[in-house]
Amino acid sequence: MLALIILNLGLYGRLSSQVLPEPSVVTFPYSEDFSALSEPQYVEFGGDWEIRDQALVQLDTNGYDLSAFIPMEIPPEQGYQFDADVRFIGGTAGGGLFFNAQQPTSRQKSHMVRFNVDQDQLWLVYGYFGDDSNFVGQGSTLLSIAPGTTESQRLAVQVTGETYHILLNGTPQVSDIPLLYRGGAVGFITAASQVAFDNVIVEPLTSAAVTSSSPPPEVAASVGNGESALITLLSDGFDAPDLSETLWRPISGQWLLENGVFAQKQTAGFDLSSIFQQSFATPYTLRATLQHRANVGGGVLFGLPTLDNVRGGHMVRYIEDGSVVTWGYFDDTGAYVGQGSAEVDLPGTAAHTFEVSVGATLYSIRLDGVELATVVELYNPAPESAIGLTSSQSEVAFDSVEIQGVENVVNSATTSPVSEIDAAEATGDWRMDGASIVQTAAEPTDYIAGTGIAGEQFVISMDVLLSESSQDAGAGIIFHMSGRNQRALGSMVRFGAGGSQLFWGHYDANGVFIGEGGVELEARPGVTRTLRLVVRTGTYDIFVDEVLVAEALALNTSSGWIGLLSFSGPVEFSNIQLAVGG
């Protein structure tokens, strides 16, 4: 009898059909400031949600992915923006926004962006909950907000047809993140934190409001500028027979050139790097193809301020088991500071290509053509920076490295680069005199003034007037330099011995000149002579007073900076004409 009583009480008291309070379905568009509500009107999925101080608050600090859905059904084709003030109250992680939830009772098949604290830094993490309800990260971005700040942050997602964008306090953080699920409900989520949400707005997205997407504005504007031409500044297939004949300088690890690859063989240690001994003017795009031979940890360096260490420079590389790529920078002490990460497919032993577009202040990253990060701030914005290769705890073979950048003149148009010369940065004593430039320092050494122009194929000509007072005076042209004013690897052609000679050669990686040839000229003291170079891919020709002096001289470099060179002085350059292009 007792069993029957309990059975009946249980059936009617606990298991009887419940008419669940239907959530008041709201319509799109929607806004709520919680000023007139005393109870949450949303579908809760875990957590302790209340209305407090005219805000929606989740109070449970123990659970992850505690959520509340706004009961609305946004059509899949509807572009919309979902904004809310998110205020961290306490806990260990943070809160954020749910969107495109395919069912308002479960996080299965939904997208999410929320704040997260990791390594004492505040991040925005974003991704989706898949078919199995497990979170799959699509990336994260480091914020310059202190973890634990209790000020409201205006978090927004803009959902378009195939992608979504994340904004924080009106500033785009990440753009063009692929959508896996379209349409559905939106809501709020917290992770081990008390979080308040307020001033919720879900509204249609107008085309004017859509966050500009990839490539990132700054990078795109600079790399894709119509007044600049994209050229290959470096293309290295690692075919050189010996490392000493390249500009790659290992700074740590065990780097070897072998069978057309540049391999780092040491599997113990982190950030084992090799830096290319040439700086590249921003914007530029670095592409490096690598294969992992043992373990995982390969990547590239960029934005390096110096050529002998990684401090102040950026890095992107595989970490952990290869399922994650991280990016960030080395601070001034050399400590690595992460700026973001993304989950990727395991690299295995297949070839993968990192592509980093470095702008004046921002950079973006692609892996095998897939965008990993955009609009990431450069730690050390600079007009030019160096690049490198790196690996950590892994043996990595780099197949090729390519740098594409811009030349600062209009294709094939002839221009005078005199105005581009930065006398303060040049060695020697250079002075502008109208269309002419004079170097007056008389020491018997090479003085170089970079034109600020880089090129692979070009024609340059100039009139040179050597000093009659110095028998050793010389002047000429240096090109394919590693830096704007850095002669390393540059090829040089100049008059010498007061104009009675013309010789040519190149500087090695250490800046030591190696002569390759020369001719005797008729000495003409006090007479202006014309020197003209026609530089092509792999070879160049020399003309003096429009007479061909040397033809099809071999080049060891493919491109680089162009400058004027003076040996002793005074020397006057005039009528400088430069035509870049094939």
Instruction: Tell me the residue type at 582.
Output: G
Binding segment for another protein (CB under 8 A), chosen from 4-12, 321-329, 399-407, 557-565, is 4-12
CB closer to another protein out of 65 and 407: 65
Stretch that binds another protein, among 47-55, 62-70, 369-377, 507-515 (CB under 8 A): 62-70
For another protein, which is the closer residue by CB, 192 or 437?
192
Angle (nearest 5°) at CA 451 between 450 and 455:
105
Minimum CB distance to another protein smaller for 7 or for 209 = 7
String of DSSP letters for 314-330: EEEEEETTTTEEEEEEE
| 28 or 135: CB nearest another protein | 135
Kindly tell me which of 4 and 36 has the beta carbon lying closer to another protein: 4
Cβ proximity of 118 and 97 under 8 Å: no
Least Å distance, CB 15 to another protein, is 5
Residue 40 is a binding residue for another protein (CB under 8 A): no
Spell out the residues 6+ positions from residue 528 whose beta carbon is closer than 8 angstroms to its own.
463, 464, 465, 574
Residue type, 303: G
CA–CA dist 246, 240 (Å, integer): 7
Six token digits for residue 12: 């009617």
* Span interacting with another protein, options 13-21, 194-202, 449-457, 547-555, rule CB under 8 A: 13-21
Stretch that binds another protein, among 15-23, 79-87, 329-337, 434-442 (CB under 8 A): 15-23
Using alpha carbons only, give the angle 565, 438, 501 rounded to the nearest 5 degrees: 45
Looking at beta carbons only, is 193 or 364 nearer to another protein?
Answer: 193
CA distance 506 to 446: 13
Task: Round to whole Å and give the CA distance between 200 and 205.
Answer: 15
Q: Which residue has the tokens 């690598």?
A: 290
By C-beta, is 16 or 24 nearer to another protein?
Answer: 16
Tell which positions 130-159 bind another protein, by CB under 8 A.
130-134
**Helix (H/G/I), strand (E/B), else coil: 307:** coil
C-alpha pair distances (Å), 258 with each of 35, 89, 241, 389, 397: 70, 57, 8, 16, 9
Q: How far is the CB of 17 from another protein (least distance, A)?
A: 5
Binding mask 89-128 for another protein (x = CB under 8 A): -----------------x-x--------------------
Contact 205, 80 (CB under 8 A): yes
Among 25, 31, 64, 136, binds another protein (CB under 8 A): 64
Cβ neighbors of 23 (< 8 A, separation 6 or more) are: 41, 42, 43, 71, 104
Task: Identify residues 307-326 at the interface with another protein (CB under 8 A).
Answer: none
Q: Least separation, in Å, of the C-beta of 107 and another protein?
A: 9
**Least distance from C-beta 508 to another protein, angstroms?**
54
Tell me the C-alpha distance between 233 and 283, whole Å: 11
Q: Taking the complex as a whole, how short is the minimal distance between the CB of residue 19 and another protein, in angstroms?
A: 9
Task: Using CB under 8 A, pick the residue from 23, 29, 40, 63 that binds another protein.
Answer: 63
> Is the CB of residue 46 less than 8 Å from the CB of residue 63?
yes
Q: Which stretch binds another protein (CB under 8 A): 12-20, 206-214, 216-224, 279-287?
A: 12-20
Total residues at the site for another protein (CB under 8 A)?
A: 24
Nearest distance, CB of residue 11 and another protein, angstroms: 5
Q: With respect to another protein, which residue has the nearer C-beta, 54 or 134?
A: 134
- Is 424 a binding residue for another protein by CB under 8 A? The answer is no
What's at 479, amino acid-wise? F
Cβ atoms of residues 299 and 390 within 8 Å: yes
Residues in contact with 194: Cβ distance below 8 Å, sequence separation at least 6, in sequence order:
57, 58, 59, 60, 61, 88, 89, 90, 91
Structural contact between residues 165 and 172, judged by C-beta atoms closer than 8 angstroms: yes
With tokens 């002669």, the residue in question is 487
Select 76 or 515, whichever has its Cβ closest to another protein. Answer: 76
Minimum distance from CB of 238 to another protein (Å)? 38
Q: Is 444 in the site for another protein (CB under 8 A)?
A: no
Q: How far is the CB of 191 from another protein (least distance, A)?
A: 10
Least distance in Å: CB of 197 to another protein? 22
Taking a C-beta distance cutoff of 8 angstroms, is the pair 565, 464 a contact?
no
Q: Does residue 65 touch another protein according to CB under 8 A?
A: yes
Binding mask 16-35 for another protein (x = CB under 8 A): xxx-x---------------
Indicate whether 346 belongs to the interface with another protein (CB under 8 A). no
Rg (CA), the chain: 31
Nearest to another protein of 260, 348 (CB atom): 348
Residue where the block lists tokens 């979170």: 135
Q: Which of 8, 35, 411, 537 binds another protein (CB under 8 A)?
A: 8
Q: How far is the CB of 192 from another protein (least distance, A)?
A: 11
Give the integer Cα–Cα distance in Å for 248 and 262: 9
Query: Given the rule CB under 8 A, which residues bind another protein?
Result: 2-4, 7-8, 10-12, 14-18, 20, 63-65, 106, 108, 130-134
